Amino acid sequence: MTLFVRNGRSDSLTLEGRVVAPVQGIDECLRITIEEGLITRIEPTGSSRPVLAPAFVDPHVHLRTPGREDEETIRSGTEAAAAGGYCAILAMPNTDPVVDTAAVLEALVERAREEAVIPTGFMAAISKGQRGDELTEMAELAARGAAAFTDDGHPVVSGGFMRRALQYSGLTGRRLAVHCEDLALSRGGHAHEGSVSAELGLGGYPSVAESVMVERDLALAAFEERPLHVMHVSAQESVVALHAAQAAGVRATGEVTPHHLCLTDEAVRSLDANVKMNPPLRAEEDRQALISALRDGTIGAVATDHAPHALHEKEVPFEEAPFGVTGLETAFSALYTHLVLPGVLGLETVLERMSAGPARALGLDEPRIEVGARANLVALDLDAEWRVTEDGFRSRSRNSWLLGQTLRGRVVRTIADGREVFAA
Amino acid sequence: MSDLRLLEAPRRHLLSIRDLSREDVHRVLETAKGMAASIDREVKKLPTLRGRTVVNLFYEASTRTLASFELAAKRLSADTMSIRSPGSSVDKGESLKDTALTVSAYDPDVIVIRHPAIGAAELVARLTRAHVVNAGDGKHQHPTQALLDLYTMQEALGRLEGVHVAIVGDILHSRVARSLVQALELVDARATVIGPPTLLPRGVEAFGCDISTDIAAAADADVVYVLRLQRERMDAGEAFVPSLREFTALYGITPERVRPGQVVMHPGPMNRGVEIDPRVADSTAALVTDQVRSGLVVRMAVLYDLLTVAVPAPAPVAVEVG
C-alpha cells in the first residue's frame, strides 16, 4: 500500500454529464451511480454538462511537511489538490527532516491517515539527507509505504552512486525519480540561459545543465535495465534523450509541469518572483518540444511540482527569491485555457496525461470509470470563467504564476476514493 | 492600499532604459543641457524642487553615483536623505520590503535605489507610491549611467546619431553595458561589444549590436567605452579569464590602441594598468571626468523630469502566455 487517506465515510451519490475517459475510449453522456464509494451503475443520460473524467493524479507535490507547516500541511495541500480535481498525489521527501528513515515516513503516514483529504503517497529519499553518498534503507522504506525514491530538489551528483541506487532499488519494486541538474553548469543560474537572461543580466541556467544529467541517468538506467522517471523535464534536448531511450527499450518515463507548457522565459522580463522556478522557464522551442512530447506520449504525465513558499520569501528581488510556484488548484484550468482552447492539445490528451499517464509512470492504480471500480471522478465546467486571486487558494501559500489571470474551465466537483472531497 | 493604487494613475519610474521612449531620452538630454547652464552660475542652486523629498537607498558601495544623486537633489532645492547599508537587505535582517515601506512612510517623492540583486528596483516600485529611480540593480540595469554617457558623447562629438561606440571588456557582468547598448539604439547610434568569449553572455545577439572577441573591432569606433573586470560579481573559484595579465594583453586600452580622434570613456572606478593604461586614462582623449560632471546634470534632469513632466506611464510588462 502506497497511498494513505483519512479514514471516513464512503459516499453514495449520482453524477451525470459528458463522460470523457480517454483510456477506456468513452466520450458519451452518462449517469454514474456511486454506492458506498463504488461505481455500481453507468447508464445513458441526456445531460452533457458538466464533463466527467477520471480524477487527476499528481506525481510531484511539495507538502512541506514536516518542517515548514507554515507553507503547507498535509491537510491544506490535499484540500488544494481536491479543489484541483486530484484523487491522488505523491509528496516529495525534501522536507525537514528529510524522509530518509522509516521513522520519519511512519510519522507522515500517521498524519496522512488523520489529515489527508485525498489519498496521498510519499516518496522517500534515495540518499540519506539527500546528500548523495549513502543509500537510504530502501527495502524497509518500501515496506512502510514509500511510493518511489527521489532526491528531488537535488540531483544525484555522483554517477557511481546513481548506478548503485538503480541497482539496489531493484529490491523494492519501486522506481527512482530523478531531478536532473548538473550543479556545476547551473551554478549562479536564476533563469534560462538565452537572450532574455543576457538582456536582464540574470545568471544563466542553461538547458544543457539539465540534459547532460538526463542523458547520464538514462544511460545508467539502460545499463542496469531499471525503470527511471525523469521529473519536471524542461529542455528540448532532454525530450530528445528521453525519446531515444524509450526507442531503445529503456523503461523511461517523464513528467512536465503546466508552467513549462504554458510559459517561456519571456515571462521573466517582469522580474516577478512567481515566475522563478527550478528548472527555469525556457525558450519557445523548448516549450514546443514539451507540448509535442506530451501529445505523442514521450512525456506521459503532467506534474504540478506544487512548491509553496511563504509570502515573505517571495517578496524579495527576483535574484534573491527561492525557486518554485504552486499549481495544484490551477493545473487543469491553466492547461485548458492556454493549450486546449487554442487548439494546441486535445481535451482527451490533457485528461489522460493528468490521470492515467502519471499513475502508470509511478506504478499507481489508474483511475477508471467502470462498474465495480472505486469512484475517482472529477467534474469540469468547461464554460466557467474565473479569476485567480490571492484569497482564492486552499493552499497555505499563494505563489502562483497565474495570479490576476482569468482562466476558462473549472473543477466543480471531485470524488476521490469513493468520497466527495470537493464541491464548488 | 490596493484601492489607492486603482484610483491613482501609476507613477512613472526609471527602472530600465526600456522604460524610456526616444522622445523621453531626447527630452532628458535637453533638460540636462539647461541644468548645465544653471550650474555654471555663481549661485548654483535652483528652486525647482523646493519642498520635494528624494531618498537615496543604497545597498551597495558607491561613491560617484550616490554623491551625484545627493548633489543633484540639493542643487534643485529638494530635501534629501541617504540610507546606506553595507550588505544586502538579507544580511541586515530587515527585508528590502520593510525598509521600502519604512522609507515610504515619510512620503518621499522619489526613491533612488541601488541594490546588488536584480529586480530590487522593480520590487520597491511595486511597494511605494514614490517615483523610483534604479541606480543599479546587480547585473541588470543602471539607466542614469547610460543617459549620462549619451550626454557626454553628445557634448564631445556634437551628435549622437550614427556615432559608433565600442564597449570593451566584461560585458557579462556589466549593467552599464546592458543599459548603454539599449540607450544607443534609442538615439540611432551604433554599438559593438568586445570581450573574451567567456565574458560575452550567451544570447548576446539579442542585444542587436555587433559582437566581437577581437579588440581590433574597436579601431573604427568614435568612442571606446572601457569596462572594468567585475571581480566582485564573479563567484569565487570561477575564473573567466586565465589571468589579468592576459586580459590586459588582449583587451587593455593602451595608447597604441587609441586612434587619433577617438575618445575614451569609462564608468569608473578604473583599474589603471588592467583594462585601461594610465597614459590613456590621463590623456585628453579620456572623458572620464566629463562623465562625472554629466552625471550631476543628467541626474538633475531625471529628477526634474519625473517630478514635473506629465507623461503617461508605460504599460507594465505583460506576462507572455502561449
Cβ–Cβ below 8 Å for B319 and A315: no
Q: Across the interface, do A316 and B322 touch by the CB < 8 Å criterion?
A: no
- Is residue B145 within 8 Å of B298, Cβ to Cβ? no
Is B319's CB within 8 Å of A270's CB? yes
pLDDT recorded at residue B318:
47
* Domain topology for A55-350: TIM Barrel (3.20.20)
Mean pLDDT estimate for chain A:
97
The whole-number average pLDDT for the span B139-149 is: 98
ipTM, interface predicted TM-score of the complex: 0.87
Asked if the model's pLDDT at residue A275 lies above 80, the reply is yes
Q: What pLDDT shows up at residue B199? A: 95
Least CA distance to A343: which residue of chain B? B322
Per annotation, catalytic residue among A305, A381, A391, A417: A305
Counted across chains A and B, CB pairs separated by less than 8 A come out at 119
Mutate to test the interface with B, among A193, A199, A205 (most CBs of B within 10 A): A199
Q: Mapping DSSP to helix (H, G, I), strand (E, B) and coil, where does residue A406 land?
A: strand
Q: Which of B120, B178, B206 faces A317 most closely, judged by CB atoms? A: B120
Examine the pLDDT at B282 and tell me if it is beyond 90: yes
Cis preceding linkage at A66, omega within 30: yes
Asked if residue A152 has pLDDT above 90, the reply is yes
- Asked if residue A291 has pLDDT above 80, the reply is yes
DSSP codes of every residue in A148-207? EEE-TTS----HHHHHHHHHHHTTTT--EEE----HHHHTT--EETTHHHHHHTPPEE-H
The pLDDT > 90 percentage for chain A reads 99
* pLDDT tens-place string over residues A311-359: 999 999 999 999 999 999 999 999 999 999 999 999 999 999 999 999 9
- Give the cell for residue A299: 512525456
Domain with CATH 3.40.50.1370 in chain B: 2-142+293-308, 144-291
Cis peptide preceding B255, ω within 30 of 0: no
Eight-state DSSP code of residue A134: S
Instruction: Identify the pLDDT of residue B1.
Output: 37
A100 is annotated as an active-site residue? no
User: What are the angstrom distances between the C-alpha of B112 and each of B21, B115, B143?
Assistant: 21, 10, 12
Mean per-residue pLDDT, A202-216 = 98
Higher pLDDT, residue A58 or B95: A58
Q: What is the pLDDT of residues B153-210, one digit of tens each?
A: 999 999 999 999 999 999 999 999 999 999 999 999 999 999 999 999 998 988 889 9
Instruction: Could you please state the CATH topology (level 3) that the domain comprising B144-291 is classified under.
Output: Rossmann fold (3.40.50)
A196, A318, A338 ranked by CB distance to B322: nearest:
A338
Catalytic residue among B13, B52, B53, B65: B65
Q: Under DSSP, is residue A342 helix (H, G, I), strand (E, B) or coil?
A: coil
pTM of the full predicted structure? 0.92
Contacts of A91 (CB under 8 A, 6+ apart): A61, A62, A63, A65, A74, A77, A108, A120, A121, A122, A123
| B8 to chain A, closest Cα gap in Å | 19
Mutation target vs B (from A187, A262, A292, A318; most B CBs, 10 A cutoff) = A318
Of A201, A271, A316, the CB nearest to B95: A316
Q: Catalytic annotation on B233? A: no
- B14 min Cα distance to partner chain A (Å): 15
Answer left, alpha or beta for residue B107, where phi above 0 means left and psi between -120 and 50 means alpha: left
**What are A383-421's pLDDT values in tens digits?**
999 999 999 999 999 999 999 999 999 999 999 999 999
B115 is catalytic: no
Q: Which residue in B95, B139, B202 is closest to A201 by CB distance?
A: B139
pLDDT for the residue B243: 87
- The helix (H) or strand (E) run that includes residue B121 is helix B120-127
Chain A closest-CA separation from residue B59 CA (Å): 13
pLDDT digits (tens, 9 = 90+) for B113-128: 999 999 999 999 999 9
With a cut of 90, say whether residue B3 has pLDDT above it: no
Which candidate from B96, B316, B321 shows the least CB-CB separation from A262?
Answer: B321
Separation in Å, CA of B207 to nearest CA in chain A? 7
* Residue B2 pLDDT: 39
Burial of A246: CB neighbours in 10 Å, binned 0-12, 13-18, 19+: middle
Q: Please report residues of B whose CB lies closer than 8 A to that of A202.
A: 118, 139-140
Render pLDDT for B208-243 as a digit per residue (tens, 0 to 9).
Answer: 899 999 999 999 999 999 999 877 655 555 689 988
Residue-wise pLDDT for B45-73, tens only, equals: 899 999 999 999 999 888 889 999 999 99
pLDDT band at A148 (very low <50, low <70, confident <90, very high): very high
CATH number for region B2-142+293-308 = 3.40.50.1370
Strand order in the sheet with A377-387: A38-44, A26-35, A13-21, A51-54, A377-387, A406-416, A419-423
**DSSP secondary structure letters along B276-301:** B-HHHHTSTTB-HHHHHHHHHHHHHH
Cβ burial, residue B5 (10 Å; 0-12/13-18/19+): exposed
- Classify residue A170 as left (phi > 0), alpha (psi -120 to 50) or beta: alpha
Identify the contact set of chain A against chain B, taking CB-CB distances under 8 A: 187-188, 190, 193-204, 206, 261-264, 266-267, 269-273, 275, 284, 287, 312, 315-321, 338-339, 344, 401, 405
Q: Do B175 and A201 touch (CB under 8 A)?
A: yes
Q: How many CA atoms lie within 13 A of A133 on its CB side?
A: 1
Could B321 and A318 be called an inter-chain contact, meaning their C-beta atoms sit closer than 8 Å? no
How many C-beta atoms surround the C-beta of residue A421 within 10 A? 26
- Chain B residues within 8 Å of chain A (Cβ atoms): 88-90, 95-97, 115, 117-120, 122-123, 137-141, 173-175, 178, 201-207, 235, 238, 316-317, 319-322
Which residues, other chains included, contact B316 with Cβ-Cβ below 8 Å and sequence gap of 6+? A270, B10
Q: What angle do CA B282, B287, B291 make, to 5 degrees?
A: 130
pLDDT-derived band at B88, boundaries 50, 70, 90: very low
Element of type H or E holding B140? none
Q: Residue B320's pLDDT band (boundaries 50, 70, 90)?
A: very low
pLDDT of residue B45: 86
Sheet containing B190-194: order of strands = B210-212, B190-194, B164-168, B223-226, B263-265
Site of grid cell 555522483: A158
Task: Count CB-CB contacts under 10 A for residue B231.
Answer: 12
Neighbours of A64 (CB within 10 A): 28
* pLDDT tens for each residue of B9-38: 567 999 999 999 999 999 999 999 999 998
Strands (E), A93-133: 120-124
Residue with cell 581590433: B216
- Which among A271, A287, A339 has the least Cβ separation from residue B118? A271
Residues A105/A137, Cβ–Cβ less than 8 Å: no
pLDDT above 60: residue B89 = no
Q: What is the band of A269 on the pLDDT scale with cuts at 50, 70, 90?
A: very high
Q: What is the pLDDT of residue A18?
A: 98
The A301-302 sheet, strands edge to edge: A56-61, A86-91, A120-124, A146-150, A176-178, A228-230, A252-256, A301-302
Query: CA torsion sign, B73 to B75 to B79 to B81?
Result: positive
pLDDT of residue B42: 77
